[in-house]
């Protein structure tokens, strides 16, 4: 584990474990690299080098008041990749992290990239517009910002206990430790970063980014994702990349890397080895 300082003076925390081909994990909003612990332990034990950073304003990275947009997210990721001199890397992004991965590859090129994975990810664009009628109304994201600014702790607890992991579905037993771990990660980060990040993940149009990606891309999405509906996300994203494969998981929620880790890890391993 270590830190780097970006070109604009922001300190970014990262984990770097093991050796072998690098896998770089980008986490979702408003979490931290800890959300990837199950995947990182699985793949380090399968002979990979695993790297994950806390996005600026999240986790243990600096709670800077600015730079909470996809350009800065991608540039911070590039700074970590360059600092560690990662080559032939596989980039895996969950939710907002999927947007970060797509924007990083498009903005910084594929010279260091072997493959990419988008899990329950926000591309092509989440918000409803004339060009994206299937998106979610902007009012949904405006309300999230209000909750972050005024009621963050309770909002995070409720979000983790319901839609994020599908614990609000009939017959699904909530896992209290998973809920608490989500809340812990969220509250580690800064309210300003999380507030601004809502705009970054919901209003960024990743269509041009996806169209530039030529490395193999695996798009994974649960069909019961209540946070990023799969029909307007994974189904559309795979059509925009040049070499994409779509895998839809019946009944899986947004947070499936945690609650369905055995399935997700096995499918990731198969894709990495293919």
Provide CB contacts within 8 A for 64, sequence distance 6+: 10, 56, 57, 193
Q: How many residues does the chain have?
A: 274
The catalytic position among 33, 61, 95, 202 is: 95
Buried residues in 192-208 as b, exposed as e (16+ CB within 10 A): bbbbbbbbbbbbbbbbe
**Read out DSSP for 28-68?**
PTT--GGGGHHHHHHHHTTT-EEEEEPPTTSTTS---SS--
Q: Is-catalytic flag, 225?
A: yes
The catalytic position among 27, 72, 91, 254 is: 254
203 contacts 70 by C-beta, under 8 angstroms: no
The catalytic position among 16, 54, 75, 225 is: 225
Q: Is-catalytic flag, 254?
A: yes
Indicate which residues carry an active-site annotation: 95, 225, 254
């Amino acid at each position: 584990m270590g830190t780097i300082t970006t070109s604009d003076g922001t300190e970014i925390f990262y984990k770097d474990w093991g050796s072998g081909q690098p896998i770089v994990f980008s986490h979702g909003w408003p979490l931290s690299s800890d959300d990837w612990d199950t995947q990182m332990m699985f793949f380090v034990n399968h002979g990979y080098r695993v790297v994950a950073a806390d996005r600026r304003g999240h986790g243990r990275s600096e709670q800077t008041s600015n730079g909470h947009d996809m350009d800065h997210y991608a540039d911070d990721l590039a700074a970590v990749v360059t600092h560690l001199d990662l080559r032939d890397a596989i980039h895996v992004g969950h939710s907002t992290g999927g947007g970060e991965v797509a924007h990083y590859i498009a903005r910084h090129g594929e010279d260091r990239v072997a493959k990419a994975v988008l899990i329950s990810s926000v591309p092509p664009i989440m918000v409803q517009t004339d060009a994206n009628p299937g998106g979610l109304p902007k009012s949904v994201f405006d309300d999230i910002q209000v909750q972050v600014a005024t009621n963050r702790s309770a909002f995070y607890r409720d979000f983790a206990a319901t839609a994020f992991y599908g614990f609000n579905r009939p017959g699904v037993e909530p896992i209290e430790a998973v809920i608490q771990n989500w809340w812990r990660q969220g509250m580690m980060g800064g309210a300003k970063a999380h507030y601004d990040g809502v705009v970054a993940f919901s209003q960024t149009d990743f269509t041009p980014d996806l169209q530039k990606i030529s490395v193999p891309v695996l798009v994974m999405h649960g069909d019961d994702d209540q946070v990023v509906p799969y029909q307007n996300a994974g189904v559309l994203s795979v059509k925009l990349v040049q070499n994409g494969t779509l895998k839809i998981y019946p009944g899986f929620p947004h947070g499936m890397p945690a609650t369905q880790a055995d399935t997700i890890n096995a499918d990731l391993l198969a894709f990495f080895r293919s």
